[in-house]
Chains A and B, each alone.
Chain A
């Protein structure tokens, strides 16, 4: 085989290079200085058919291969790193998830204009607490029957706010980790979808990078990409391919810096000859060229594997990691060759020096790339404790905010609490009758034995009225003290509260009681014992005597007549369909034993994580001894 691109590849390279040199290179410095997006050039890229290179013609693409796409990114990045990532983020991150996981309707509606270059695409994955680890995703998408309501935000999003189509990763089922994450197609212009300020970046300043902000954004259910719960897989598969784009971008930046350094070295004379002929410099050039060729072969080979539907996850990680690592070395050498001149604004190598750095960071840091590569060598680490078991840890009522208001006087604490509740969206001008059945109540004020004598119940009922809540109690208050009828006590054996706001007053938090409020949206605890378990199971708390706090709270919430509350809308919990394993299982024809790569075969000395094709030829079924070729795949 000949490791060489085809004539068609090189023709495309010439076409893109000509465009980049005439349309982008002259303005690259200006774009960098002004933090400016090359709107006109991107429009022209679209018209030239370069925004849909690897997609079939029926979806508006150019129907070319993945190497062609890598070459186009490389050539743009060769003159301007920012322009390279505009194409990469659009093609790999914005369009590809729709191509790979979209329905026919979604492809027609969204992929076609993206591939035709009429619209720009982007991916919203990263969040403050979900960078390398997507399981920290906090953006939520709650299904209401017709729509998903999106809330939260994304940071560092390439092509925001220029893009019109965004793939957004959000949690649809909380509490089950990455299995509860889904992907959505969100259009710019959806109500409540806005952008934060543009980042002032070290490099790639011609690309636009901004925050995405979702405030009750209604996303039609048809815009769910793939299945619920499939979002993590979609994101990971997208990044697998996206890495080739970033590798090509790094390659292009380094190539541009290298060519510039060669030209400069041949021009600049010292000690009576061009510095290119000084060994100190020529050796640098030799090393730079060698690194570039290695990186290029890695990038094109990964692209070729992807094009031919061969496994390419490890190879694309190698390409991204290596190309970006050597890009930093190459741009560093280029600036060194330029000497003092290279340190000045306006010199392309100065800009490339800054542009290159991001390529070792985004779309998976190079540390993450090494994790990916290593996992293909030594397999996945043995399975850690599953989420189902982990789920049991922590409080009985699940994840809670546990915020205690302890600053200032009781009055100030109460005010802070009420402020926070209002900020959370609770409206205390509306309310429900105090005798609303617990199961139907949106809010409940519940008292424990801390209430003391029966007269104090009146204070509690006043508070319930002020809070627009029904009155409830712990079990002893109903069963032993008989302050309330039996059907008003809350707990595992009594009534379960599944509404939005629960006040636990003088309730220490017996397990039995806590099990009855597991599904409460917000729990407020007031108790004079700071060590009472209720505080670990509450969102907000005040440590103090309830007889002191209750009247203050009543006043702060307002004693005016409440308007009737609209019927309670209870959020339905979504259960994502369990996904099939995303790898093949092999079954023995001799006995039905299943080889699962996640488990390996301990007895046969096969490490967990070993894929079936990597099993040695002499491996036999550990149960019945059939040979490897007697296995069928499902």
Chain B
């Protein structure tokens, strides 16, 4: 049975929802699932915009055939070659030998690498930035979006109805479950966190490339009426709300002036310090304070929260004369994702040779960009005492002052 939705006039959503996959890209947990969006345009010619992950293949094929209703599939337009969107290309081509694939040079190279059968005579049309293509009433134009977050990525703008097929840009984790449009959900309350986690973990490294794409988009902003990404809801109202979020994330500017505390505690003593610090901060009037245990929180959430807040406290035990491995993993992930421009403070714990503080600070200073480390380091020896308790209080004061200064 099909499950499709009308986007506008002659454009249909023919994507699928995924709930059984535990880890997106086999790394990021998706407790609320994810959607693979694909769109089908019924113009004088029929056009399918991207496909879905192989896991959704069966539902997807039913959707496509239902909307085509016996018509041939004239074109398959591919904006992004990552297998969560491209895996069903071959199956579509097997069922529709008449279909011509439209994409760019790099994407065709990748299709060959992934082993898709696109070699038939006249079966491909190569386009590049600025080209236009007409399907009858609808004319589309192509804008390359290199490294958002793959090199072949492009976005396609239908200049007739103003639909921007934005590939992975403006996508989010979370299955649609019957919804289609962002205005059918409370996005800010229920979806923003997952949207941030998706963007920062998947495309976070490529902020400058997102900025380049936003720059291109701003030139045609008045022409864009609907944004149709490859994951998550379609945007037809309040586009600037989401564009503004993307602008912040890709410039590595925090959304909130507040403090994120990430702690690593083996027996609860460092946790106690983190809690004490958090209560000092709250008592001191800061109402944007979030606390996470690094050992029980997947790093993708920590990355997302670090993008959100202006200040971060890392409270770590010393482990084998080094940084507690999950904290180390968080640091390495920050580096991989190009996270920058935050203010950090460090609380270290060690019972005989506290070392984590120096190493964390060195990593932040040497390996990351524009990370400021407040000099008010707190060293806890095994557990908080009068002296380190006082230092913790002073750290809270320094943090509050720093947050308010920004």
* Interface residue ranges, A against B (CB under 8 Å): 173, 386, 388, 437-439, 487, 492-496, 572-581, 587-592, 624, 630, 632, 634
Rounded to whole Å, the gap between the CB of A42 and the closest CB of chain B is: 41
Query: Are B205 and A492 interface neighbours, CB within 8 A?
Result: no
* Interface residue ranges, B against A (CB under 8 Å): 146-147, 151, 205-206, 208-209, 211-212, 343, 354, 361-362, 365-366, 369-376, 379, 381-382, 386-388, 390-391, 398, 402
* Contact of A589 with B147 at beta-carbon distance under 8 Å, contacts A492-B381, A495-B386 already known: yes
List, in ascending order, chain B residues with CB within 8 A of A487's CB: 386
Name the residue on A nearest B354 (C-beta): A492
Pick the most buried of B365, B376, B387: most chain A CB atoms within 10 A of its CB. B387
Complex partner residue of A632 from B151, B209, B373, B402, CB under 8 angstroms: B209
Query: Are A575 and B381 interface neighbours, CB within 8 A?
Result: no
Complex partner residue of B370 from A173, A494, A578, A632, CB under 8 angstroms: A578
Query: Are B370 and A496 interface neighbours, CB within 8 A?
Result: no
Complex partner residue of B151 from A493, A572, A589, CB under 8 angstroms: A589
Complex partner residue of A438 from B212, B374, B387, CB under 8 angstroms: B387
Query: Are B147 and A439 interface neighbours, CB within 8 A?
Result: no
List, in ascending order, chain A residues with CB within 8 A of B147's CB: 587-592
Query: Are A590 and B151 interface neighbours, CB within 8 A?
Result: yes
Rounded to whole Å, the gap between the CB of A634 and the closest CB of chain B is: 4
A-B pairs, 3 with minimum CB distance: A589-B146, A573-B375, A634-B208
**A89–B195 CA distance with the chains assembled, in angstroms:** 55
Query: Are B375 and A632 interface neighbours, CB within 8 A?
Result: no
**A438–B385 CA distance with the chains assembled, in angstroms:** 13
**A510–B365 CA distance with the chains assembled, in angstroms:** 29
**A630–B365 CA distance with the chains assembled, in angstroms:** 30
**A590–B382 CA distance with the chains assembled, in angstroms:** 49
Query: Are A589 and B373 interface neighbours, CB within 8 A?
Result: no
Complex partner residue of B206 from A492, A578, A579, A592, CB under 8 angstroms: A592
Apart from A493-B381, A496-B388, A591-B151, what 8 extra A-B contacts exist at CB < 8 Å? A388-B365, A437-B386, A487-B386, A575-B373, A578-B370, A578-B372, A590-B146, A592-B205
Query: Are B375 and A575 interface neighbours, CB within 8 A?
Result: yes
List, in ascending order, chain A residues with CB within 8 A of B398's CB: 572
Query: Are A575 and B209 interface neighbours, CB within 8 A?
Result: no
**A580–B370 CA distance with the chains assembled, in angstroms:** 6
Pick the most buried of A574, A624, A632: most chain B CB atoms within 10 A of its CB. A632
Name the residue on B nearest A487 (C-beta): B386
List, in ascending order, chain B residues with CB within 8 A of A388's CB: 361-362, 365-366
List, in ascending order, chain A residues with CB within 8 A of B388's CB: 496
Rounded to whole Å, the gap between the CB of B246 and the closest CB of chain A is: 16
Name the residue on B nearest A511 (C-beta): B353
**A576–B373 CA distance with the chains assembled, in angstroms:** 9
List, in ascending order, chain B residues with CB within 8 A of A576's CB: 372
Query: Are B375 and A496 interface neighbours, CB within 8 A?
Result: no
Chosen A-B contacts, 14 in total, with CB atoms closer than 8 Å, are: A388-B362, A388-B365, A437-B386, A492-B354, A573-B375, A578-B372, A579-B370, A589-B151, A590-B147, A591-B147, A592-B206, A630-B146, A632-B208, A632-B212
Query: Are A496 and B391 interface neighbours, CB within 8 A?
Result: yes
**A214–B109 CA distance with the chains assembled, in angstroms:** 68
**A634–B372 CA distance with the chains assembled, in angstroms:** 20
Rounded to whole Å, the gap between the CB of B127 and the closest CB of chain A is: 17
List, in ascending order, chain A residues with CB within 8 A of B209's CB: 587, 589, 592, 632
**A495–B209 CA distance with the chains assembled, in angstroms:** 51
Rounded to whole Å, the gap between the CB of A114 and the closest CB of chain B is: 29
**A31–B365 CA distance with the chains assembled, in angstroms:** 54
**A623–B146 CA distance with the chains assembled, in angstroms:** 15
**A118–B274 CA distance with the chains assembled, in angstroms:** 57
List, in ascending order, chain B residues with CB within 8 A of A581's CB: 369
List, in ascending order, chain A residues with CB within 8 A of B379's CB: 492
Query: Are A496 and B366 interface neighbours, CB within 8 A?
Result: no
* Contact of A439 with B372 at beta-carbon distance under 8 Å, contacts A388-B366, A589-B146 already known: no
Rounded to whole Å, the gap between the CB of A382 and the closest CB of chain B is: 16
**A186–B361 CA distance with the chains assembled, in angstroms:** 34
Name the residue on A nearest B358 (C-beta): A392
List, in ascending order, chain A residues with CB within 8 A of B211's CB: 634
Rounded to whole Å, the gap between the CB of B284 and the closest CB of chain A is: 16
List, in ascending order, chain B residues with CB within 8 A of A578's CB: 365, 370-372
Pick the most buried of B205, B209, B366: most chain A CB atoms within 10 A of its CB. B209
Rounded to whole Å, the gap between the CB of A439 and the closest CB of chain B is: 5
Rounded to whole Å, the gap between the CB of A215 and the closest CB of chain B is: 26
List, in ascending order, chain A residues with CB within 8 A of B206's CB: 592
**A492–B381 CA distance with the chains assembled, in angstroms:** 8
